[in-house]
Structure 1
Amino acid sequence: MNFVITSRQPWEEKNLGSNIRDMARSLSKEHQVLFINDPLDWSSLFAKKSPRVQQRNSFIEQYKGDRLVQAEKNLWVLSPQRLLTSINWLPDMVVYDWLNRYNGNVIAAEIKAAVQQLNWKSFILLNDNDMLQGFYLKELLKPKAAVYYLRDNFLAVDYWKRHGERLEPKLMSKVDLVASNSIYLANQAARYNPNSVYVGQGCDLSLFDPNRVGEVPADMAVLPKPIVGYAGALTGLRLDVDLIETVALRRPDWQIVLIGSTDDSFQKERLEAIPNIKFLGSKPSHQIPAYVAGMDVLINPQKLNEVTIGNYPRKIDEYLAMGKPVVALKTETMSLFAKHVYLAENPDQFIAGIDDALNGRQLSTAEERIAFALEHTWENSLGLMIDAIDRLIAKQPQTA
């Protein structure tokens, strides 16, 4: 098959993991893939020094100004040239819809040109959870099948909720298939589209091999033990600062290490004031396994809210693939990990889980944790999605 993937995820971002980039790479092993880089909008003109714009310009310069490039075998990346109109601030009315369709036409025109250049006669459109810019692309591109990949409850975020609360149900109703990495989200999607399937979560765990990890990095090696750590995005929307603070204050003998970039919603200064909490900053993805190797227990101190209730935290598989004991907030999705991860509903249980792990009262062996994580492959996840697409196409009327 040929796949056109639209996403709000930039291809050139190197320091953050990405479901859709990993999915694109895995699909390209057996199919041809065109990944559409998140288009810039007119506001970008007033933010030329922003990291996002600089990364995009550097990526294009890397390929001598070409907008359609072959980044890997069977995988092309299109960086749209035209800027979109900035419209999310508009009221949720007819003017917004008119301009959103205009933006859709702008994106679709460049995608059509790229598809023609690749000499593709047909393709599957895979929309990565973008109910806004991707709303009109099924009609405008006329793919063989349109798939909406629902991997997060973006409607809990104000930016997406403003227009997405109305548009996402409509989009899920009109696409041919909704595929989700979460049972919770798949059940939500089924309210709008009977062709909604749970495909599980794929993970690229090739870096997270305890037998291939080198020395623990120097800034980690100098810290006292035991080390209780987290590696991932540090955002107030998803992480419970109160819980992290409580753990650190109740157990000053534990070193709490946080690795990742922070956003404005995360109360970093509040936690920095606690002596046994250390921030080591953002690290390139290839260095993360070495940091995880230096930790005694890994934690996922999530908040329980509309954003996190249905999401699949890939970092749990990364931690388990390193053979590490893990303590996490209990959610419907996390119940899948109950045999290997301590699941807590309150700070007392969270601290007790860490204490049990540090003292050898573990739910499973390191070998069992590794084997479980390695079951969650992109091959398995994408296989379920491809099977669902095949069934859809088989039902389509055959043209002469």
Structure 2
Amino acid sequence: MAIIENRDFIVVGQQPWDTPIGSNCKDLALEFSKHNRVLYINAPLDRRTKFQQSHTEGVKKRMRVIKGQEEGLEQIGPNFWVYYPDVINESINWMKPTALFRIFNKINNKRFAKSVKKAIKQLNFKDFILFNDSDMFRSYHLKELLNPSTSIYYSRDNLLATPYWGKHGKHLEPELIKKSNLCVANSVYLANYCKQYNPNSFYVGQGCDFELFKNDDSVKVPESLNAIKKPILGYVGALLAIRLDEHILLHLAQQKPAWSIVLIGPEDDDFKNSKLHEMENVHFLGPQKPETLPAYIKGFDVCLNPQALNPLTIGNYPRKIDEYLAMGKPTLATRTEAVGIFADYVYLAETKEEYVSLAEKALAENSETLANERIAFAKTHTWEKNAEEIYKAIQTVE
């Protein structure tokens, strides 16, 4: 078993620790901390966010740290610290991808790094490993400014497909991948993308929280779901038009009016205005607390991942499929390169018509034996295993 022990890890990325939704970066940081010291760096506050979200507790807390009214370094576990930088970065993404943007981005990076060095000094971190969760702008220069023993770029989403990240990222991300000591990715598709710029790029898989996603007697189906007619085909997650194919859901609901389609999660404007809201057999239950999601999944007869096919989604590792399978549920998803590893345990559709026929098959042939096989497969995707693969990649390069 590959393992790295008694080292210092510094983790930077896009997901602040105080954001309630989970992320790969958070889970991996916790896994690293089982054998190493970990400093999790929240992204610095930027000037636009300071003004636009000044009423939120997140911004208020950061301003207290910046003003010296509150300590920015917090220990939240035996080997785990979270740091709130005491600086404000300039909001520069509006600038054109020119030399001027790079100058201002370097200024932001230097400001950020100067603050991070305070935490490094306070904790006496030495010979540390820098783990960068796709923070291609704010952390572009951190390898040079912080001088880690090893710098790792973590790719878990094709962010360049979005306008915000693509504008400058189409230049900066390949450069950052190239100058990192190694890159790790949670899908084969993204690992191959990274290999175009850095031969030390590795597919390391993905983890799942099996303490939360378990189908036993302690998990009770919510009354709101029990009141809905069966069979229930359900989806849990953000309802975003850029990631989900609304036409698949409409087709299922139209072709099978006796089935109930249940959608759980926050909606973007496209979904709020969707014809799905007009259909009697489609039920929007809204966003739910993360700890309650297994209870809803338990009440589904078939779990759905009707992914839209576009540059943003095509290489994504579908974390929710592991969560569905961990509960033994029949799962129906759109076929992509990244989903191919699930082919023996998930019903994979290429058209909206196949969604209907495969849903029928999933309902008809479900059994305890199949449920147990799904659970066993999902349990090969642990955060411990994910971290081991990352350790193995580090040891290959160091």
TM-score (norm 2): 0.94
- Identity within the alignment, %: 44
Q: Indicate if the aligned counterparts of 2:108 and 2:138 stay in contact, CA closer than 8 A.
A: yes
Displacement after TM superposition at 1:249 (Å): 1.1
Displacement after TM superposition at 1:49 (Å): 4.9
Q: Indicate if the aligned counterparts of 1:7 and 1:38 stay in contact, CA closer than 8 A.
A: yes
Q: What's the counterpart of residue 205 of structure 2?
A: 200
Q: What's the counterpart of residue 178 of structure 2?
A: 173
Mapped to 1, the partners of 2:358 and 2:367 lie a distance apart of 9
Mapped to 2, the partners of 1:133 and 1:361 lie a distance apart of 48
Over residues 195-249 of structure 1, what are the superposed CA-to-partner deviations in whole Å (9 max), with x where a residue is unaligned? Answer: 1111111222210111154321121111111110000111111000111111111
Mapped to 2, the partners of 1:22 and 1:59 lie a distance apart of 23
Q: What's the counterpart of residue 398 of structure 1?
A: none
Q: What's the counterpart of residue 149 of structure 1?
A: 154
Q: Indicate if the aligned counterparts of 2:62 and 2:86 stay in contact, CA closer than 8 A.
A: no
Q: Indicate if the aligned counterparts of 2:45 and 2:62 stay in contact, CA closer than 8 A.
A: no
Q: Indicate if the aligned counterparts of 1:60 and 1:66 stay in contact, CA closer than 8 A.
A: no
Displacement after TM superposition at 1:48 (Å): 3.1
Q: 1:281 to 1:247 in 2, by over 3 A?
A: same
Mapped to 1, the partners of 2:105 and 2:246 lie a distance apart of 37
Displacement after TM superposition at 1:280 (Å): 0.7
Question: What SS is found at the alignment partner of 1:266?
Answer: helix
Q: Indicate if the aligned counterparts of 2:45 and 2:59 stay in contact, CA closer than 8 A.
A: no
Q: What's the counterpart of residue 122 of structure 1?
A: 127
Q: What's the counterpart of residue 13 of structure 2?
A: 7
Question: What SS is found at the alignment partner of 2:183?
Answer: strand
Please give the residue correspondences for 1:223-238 in structure 2 after superposition, counting only pairs within 5 Å.
Answer: 223-238=228-243
Do residues 319 (structure 1) and 327 (structure 2) align?
Answer: no
Q: What's the counterpart of residue 286 of structure 2?
A: 281
Please give the residue correspondences for 1:216-365 in structure 2 after superposition, counting only pairs within 5 Å.
Answer: 216-360=221-365, 365=370
Q: Structure 1 stretches (4+) deviating beyond 3 angstroms?
A: 55-62, 264-269, 361-364
Q: Indicate if the aligned counterparts of 1:213 and 1:293 stay in contact, CA closer than 8 A.
A: no
Q: 1:61 to 1:49 in 2, by over 3 A?
A: closer
Question: What SS is found at the alignment partner of 1:112?
Answer: helix
Question: What SS is found at the alignment partner of 1:23?
Answer: helix
Mapped to 1, the partners of 2:358 and 2:230 lie a distance apart of 17
Number of residue pairs matched by the alignment? 389
Q: What's the counterpart of residue 214 of structure 1?
A: 219
Q: What's the counterpart of residue 394 of structure 2?
A: 389
Displacement after TM superposition at 1:349 (Å): 0.8
Q: 1:264 to 1:136 in 2, by over 3 A?
A: farther
Over residues 345-372 of structure 1, what are the superposed CA-to-partner deviations in whole Å (9 max), with x where a residue is unaligned? Answer: 0011111111111122679610000000
Which blocks of at least 5 consecutive residues in structure 1 are unaligned?
Answer: 394-400
Mapped to 1, the partners of 2:26 and 2:129 lie a distance apart of 16
Mapped to 2, the partners of 1:154 and 1:68 lie a distance apart of 29
Of 107-116 and 64-73, more deviation after overlay is shown by: 64-73
Q: What's the counterpart of residue 377 of structure 2?
A: 372
Mapped to 2, the partners of 1:287 and 1:58 lie a distance apart of 28
Which blocks of at least 5 consecutive residues in structure 2 are unaligned?
Answer: 1-6
> What amino acid maps onto 1:9 in structure 2?
Q
Q: Indicate if the aligned counterparts of 2:54 and 2:60 stay in contact, CA closer than 8 A.
A: no
Of 32-41 and 262-271, more deviation after overlay is shown by: 262-271
Q: 1:374 to 1:61 in 2, by over 3 A?
A: farther
Q: 1:337 to 1:383 in 2, by over 3 A?
A: same
Q: What's the counterpart of residue 30 of structure 1?
A: 35
Mapped to 2, the partners of 1:163 and 1:314 lie a distance apart of 27
Question: What SS is found at the alignment partner of 1:33?
Answer: strand
Of 78-87 and 213-222, more deviation after overlay is shown by: 213-222
> What amino acid maps onto 1:54 in structure 2?
E
Q: 1:355 to 1:178 in 2, by over 3 A?
A: same
Question: What SS is found at the alignment partner of 1:281?
Answer: coil
Do residues 101 (structure 1) and 106 (structure 2) align?
Answer: yes
Q: Indicate if the aligned counterparts of 1:213 and 1:290 stay in contact, CA closer than 8 A.
A: no
Of 240-249 and 365-374, more deviation after overlay is shown by: 240-249
Q: Indicate if the aligned counterparts of 1:124 and 1:145 stay in contact, CA closer than 8 A.
A: yes
Displacement after TM superposition at 1:144 (Å): 0.4
Over residues 138-159 of structure 1, what are the superposed CA-to-partner deviations in whole Å (9 max), with x where a residue is unaligned? Answer: 1111100110001110000000
Q: 1:264 to 1:73 in 2, by over 3 A?
A: farther
Instruction: Name the Cα RMSD after superposition.
Output: 1.8
Mapped to 2, the partners of 1:163 and 1:75 lie a distance apart of 32
Q: Indicate if the aligned counterparts of 2:50 and 2:59 stay in contact, CA closer than 8 A.
A: no
> What amino acid maps onto 1:55 in structure 2?
G
Over residues 265-311 of structure 1, what are the superposed CA-to-partner deviations in whole Å (9 max), with x where a residue is unaligned? Answer: 43544321111111111111110000100111000000011111111
Q: 1:59 to 1:231 in 2, by over 3 A?
A: farther
Q: Indicate if the aligned counterparts of 2:87 and 2:111 stay in contact, CA closer than 8 A.
A: yes
Q: 1:3 to 1:56 in 2, by over 3 A?
A: farther
Q: Indicate if the aligned counterparts of 2:156 and 2:190 stay in contact, CA closer than 8 A.
A: yes
Mapped to 2, the partners of 1:268 and 1:231 lie a distance apart of 19
